[in-house]
Structure 1
Amino acid sequence: MTKIAIVLGSTRPGRNGEAVARWVYEAASRREDAQFELVDIGEFDLPLLDEPVPPSMGQYSKDHTRRWAAKVAEFDGYVFVTPEYNHGTSGALKNALDYLYGEWNNKAAGFVGYGSAGGTRAVEQLRLIMSELQIATVRAQVSLSLFTDFENFSTFKPSSHHDQPLATMLDQVISWSQAMKSTRNLESLEQYRS
């Protein structure tokens, strides 16, 4: 079955992202067309990128990198839950993305952003990063406002109008993740032939 990670992209104390990621996970878990797992980058204790060799070489020297790589490699696709800080994604998520390369390749991703402008600028930034990591991004996304979807900017109370965009985004991520499997299988076959 297709495996999708819901990646919690904030490590900030008191982060709003934890409630958002749980909301995404609960909605996704009601589906029967894929398996979902909540992956919190904060649980991997990744320092600022400390690998001496570029990740595209796949020569990881640190235990935390190998553990992170093994987790990321388990999945066919991802839903990134990102805050927006200063018109961009969190430094912690960017750092976690930068640690790896091949484990991300030829997979699909969708986005749930949150912030004063719905996290849309963070998602735009992530789309650029994903293209370099060879991750196909889907069009549908969820944009949550700190003004209307959080009580006192901290207690998550999403409006029901987000349910349909979330379902559409999940549909697209699952579909694209399944389609990308054939690309990964072709690459594996080519490596075997060479």
Structure 2
Amino acid sequence: MKKILNNVLCAVLAAAMIFSFSSCSKANSMTEENIKNTVATVETALKEFDTDTLNKYVSSTTLDYIIKFSSSHEQFAQLGKAIFANLEMEVKSVDLQNQTVTITVSNSKLTEIATIFTEGLKAKYSNTELLRKLNDDSFLTQSLNVLLEGINNTSISTEADITVKVQKGKKNLVLALDETAEDAVSGGALGAIKKIYS
């Protein structure tokens, strides 16, 4: 009887392990369903500015800067939420052979607001001074509040189709956002903000 129980227990554990391995491998399989689910996950993560999820599901140079600073400065987390608050992402087509997805993206049009903000900072501070000030909470609160106010008060929207490369991560698929995709999902804001670091 004890031997039978041991065998049953071993069989159950083996089945559980196989199931967990197969579900892990399925999550990063290059299928249309997984790609669509990845886009939906990224949309939600951007709107909520869920940095843990974004780190797993998105590859983006500019977004990485904001995520990095948001871990130690709440102002950047608020900025992220404001930029992506009105984001909508709809999958238009999936190309499994080329491992890309074409997405119709709409968001508030933030190019002009972010450009004016960035140019204002560039006129006042050198790149070295500005990078030093990124650790000054009172400066961040004061300056980013101006940007947040502009973002929150805009009523103009923009829409664009972008084609994004899909990559296999360890446990899930990853959207690789190039500069065009960064600009589209952020309504033009990330492109303008990127100038601060260039």
- Taking structure 1 as the reference length, the TM-score comes to 0.25
Please state which structure has a larger fraction of its residues in helix.
2
Please state which structure has a larger fraction of its residues in strand.
1
Larger radius of gyration: 2
Q: Which has the higher contact order (CA 8 A, sep 6+)?
A: 2
